[in-house]
Amino acid sequence: MKLAKEKKDLESQSLAYTEIINNLLQDKEELTTISMEYKNAYEQITISDADIEYLHSTLKNAINLLDTFVPQKEESIIALNTLVELLNKDTLKTFQLLGFNYKEAIGEPLTEMCAEAIKTKLKITSSNKNKSNPQSKVKK
């Protein structure tokens, strides 16, 4: 700014101010990009109040659905009860404030568990169908 003011002719000052403005606009764009990246990262690990309420209202349905795929073992029941305890609003909010990532810690293993249960169930179902349907075997 001082250099722009020290310039004697109007055209030199105008060019200096234009350069300053362009630099400020570039800085603003860079800061906006950085803030959007931080916002996206924050949203990926944060569970909103609406999401927490939705979790609580649908948790029993999800557990019933899992029960159809996961065998009724004592350890499964204990694990599901532990999951229910971890998903209360106060615990979620407190752990999130401490930086805990529920989506990664619970969501990913739960996704893997469901995927494996579905694969296992489909293998049993398709092998039972092949055994009961003699035409499914091709004669050579």
Number of domains comprising the chain: 2
Q: Residues in the chain, how many? A: 140
110 with 60, same domain: the answer is yes
**Residues ≥6 apart with Cβ < 8 Å to 81:** none
60 with 114, same domain: the answer is yes
What's the pLDDT at 16? Answer: 80
60: domain range? 47-133
28 with 87, same domain: the answer is no
Q: What are the pLDDT digits (tens) for 51-74?
A: 877 877 777 677 767 667 656 667
Q: Is residue 91 part of a domain?
A: yes
- Residue 69 to residues 53, 121, 124, 127, 137, Cα–Cα distance (Å): 25, 7, 12, 17, 28
101 confidence band (pLDDT: 50, 70, 90) = confident
- Measured at the CA of 55, the angle between CA 52 and CA 58, to 5 degrees, comes to 150
Q: Does residue 140 sit in helix, strand or coil?
A: coil
119 with 97, same domain: the answer is yes
33 with 88, same domain: the answer is no
Q: Does residue 31 sit in helix, strand or coil?
A: helix
Q: Tally Cβ neighbours within 10 Å of residue 109.
A: 12
| Average pLDDT value for the chain | 77
Q: Is residue 140 part of a domain?
A: no
26 with 53, same domain: the answer is no
Q: What are the pLDDT digits (tens) for 17-36?
A: 888 899 999 999 999 999 99
39 with 98, same domain: the answer is no
95 with 120, same domain: the answer is yes
Q: Is residue 114 part of a domain?
A: yes
What's the pLDDT at 46? Answer: 79
Q: Is residue 7 part of a domain?
A: yes
Query: Is the whole-model pTM more than 0.75?
Result: no
Asked if 34 and 47 count as a contact pair (C-beta separation under 8 A), the reply is no
